[in-house]
Amino acid sequence: MLLRCIVERENEEIRLNHPVEFMRLTLTYEGPLHAASGGETRNAEKHTIRQRFHRELRDAWQTHLALRDSLGRQMSRIQSRVREMEAGRRMPTVPKSVAFPIIQRVDFNFVPLVCRDLYGICELDILFLRREPAGGIVNQAGDIDNRIKVLFDALRVPQNDNEIPSTITPDFGEDPFYCLLEDDKLITSFRLESDQLFGEREQSDAWVKLVIRATVKVQRLIPENVGLGDTI
pLDDT tens, 64-99? 876 776 656 655 665 666 666 667 655 544 444 346
Q: 184 pLDDT band (50/70/90 cuts)? A: very high
Question: Mean pLDDT across the stretch 217-229?
Answer: 76
pTM of the complete model beyond 0.75 = yes
3-state class of 52 per DSSP? Answer: helix
Q: Is 170 left (phi over 0), alpha (psi -120 to 50) or beta?
A: beta
What's residue 72's pLDDT?
A: 60
Of 40-44, 67-71, 133-137, 166-170, least confident by mean pLDDT is: 67-71
Instruction: Determine the Cα–Cα distance for residues 215 and 184; give it in Å rounded to an integer.
Output: 14
Q: For residue 28, which amino acid is it?
A: T
